[in-house]
Amino acid sequence: MQKTLSAICATYIAIAMLLAAGVVSAAQAPAGSKLAGDGMCSVTVNVPPPSGPPPDFGQMFGRPDPKAALPKLVKVKGDVYVIQNTKNVLSEILQFGGNATAYITNDGVILVDSKVDELHDDIVAKIKTLTDKPIKYVVLTHSHGDHSGGVAKMVRAGATVIVSRDDRRYMARDAGDAALPQITYSRYGNVFLGGKEVQLFEYCGHTSGDTVAYFPAARVVVAGDLVTTPDSIPTIVSYADGGNWTDLAKALDSIATLDFDVLIGGHGPVLSKPEFLKYRDKVAKIGARAKELVKAGKSQQEISQTLGKELNWGSGPSSMVITGMMVEFR
């Protein structure tokens, strides 16, 4: 990571020198200038790793319930289905993972996100009820285990797994070579299968390389953790993976320009476009209010309490985000 950051810095310094010398304009900066971390982030926030023992995620997210019902298969529209948890509570995230979306085509299935490793057989069985064709492609919205945990089994089963370049780096950092996607892309990509198309847009926000999968013919957007809708599952940015609140808000503005009827977030129920726009506005409000509170010199606890009271956000797992916001907005 350190090596990568210094490589980015070296590139930026080199470009700054060229700009100062009038050699290139900002608009003509070479595409290679972003290769070291080639995501779409407009800001970099260096949050020092927390000192002391690692956070107790089990306590933060709630212990898995051994009696919890398995996720359900829900038709979204046309050939698009989502496998989603039944209660939209935090404890289901560690147990089952986030939403997985299946786009059925005549030549096979394009799956977006793979939930956790333990859910692989259940996902395959559910998709078998829809089609005899195999899962051909798995697009990962980002690197986190509740979305990418099923990758090893998907690769072994013959699927081709795709993720942004940035997020593959986070997967390699966190999991080693054991289970990595075979294909990466930057900024924009396409998957074509059985006469259907999925457009991949890279954003920065939750991580530095979030993928939004857009099915133009179906008018469906799959947004990963840029969108986590229920009040019970708060929106989070992962500063350790290059995410930040400024770019999250920009990403949501950009997604709003896509032509769609429904949006499937990383966690929670499917949203209509008006529901998504409301969510987008709430995320912007959280950022603006957090910025005011940071600038006013409030403590982490005060920020968390104020945001909790005004916008129902900022406790549980999102308390970790406030630590990063205090660096991002200071």
CB of 188 to Zn ion, least distance (A): 21
Q: Which of 144, 153, 165, 168 binds Zn ion (CB under 5 A)?
A: 144
CB of 36 to Zn ion, least distance (A): 23
Site string for Zn ion, 216-235 (x = CB under 5 A): ---------x----------
Which is nearer to Zn ion, 108 or 287 (by Cβ)?
A: 287
Which is nearer to Zn ion, 144 or 169 (by Cβ)?
A: 144
* Residue count, binding to Zn ion (CB under 5 A): 2
> Position of tokens 């409301």?
278
Report how far apart, in Å, the C-alpha atoms of 104 and of each of 193, 200, 270, 302 are.
9, 17, 18, 48
Helix (H, G, I), strand (E, B) or coil at 21: coil
Interface with Zn ion, residue 38, by CB under 5 A? no
Q: Which residue is nearest to Zn ion (CB)?
A: 144
Which is nearer to Zn ion, 108 or 150 (by Cβ)?
A: 150
Nearest Cα to Cα of residue 102 among 68, 125, 70: 125
CB of 205 to Zn ion, least distance (A): 11
Which is nearer to Zn ion, 165 or 206 (by Cβ)?
A: 206
Which amino acid appears at position 215 of this protein? F
Taking CB under 5 A as the binding criterion, the range among 57-65, 86-94, 115-123, 140-148 that sits at the site for Zn ion is 140-148
CB of 73 to Zn ion, least distance (A): 22
CB of 147 to Zn ion, least distance (A): 6
Taking CB under 5 A as the binding criterion, the range among 139-147, 179-187, 255-263, 274-282 that sits at the site for Zn ion is 139-147
> Interior CA angle at 160 toward 242 and 186, to 5°?
35
Is there a contact between 233 and 201 (Cβ–Cβ < 8 Å)?
no
Which is nearer to Zn ion, 170 or 294 (by Cβ)?
A: 170
Is there a contact between 179 and 163 (Cβ–Cβ < 8 Å)?
no
> Position of tokens 């010199």?
297
- Residue 28: half-sphere exposure toward Cβ, Cα within 13 Å: 6
Query: How are beta strands 271-272 and 262-267 bridged, if at all?
Result: antiparallel
Site string for Zn ion, 155-174 (x = CB under 5 A): --------------------
Report how far apart, in Å, the C-alpha atoms of 242 and of each of 213, 303, 306 are.
20, 22, 26
**Site for Zn ion, rule CB under 5 A:** 144, 225
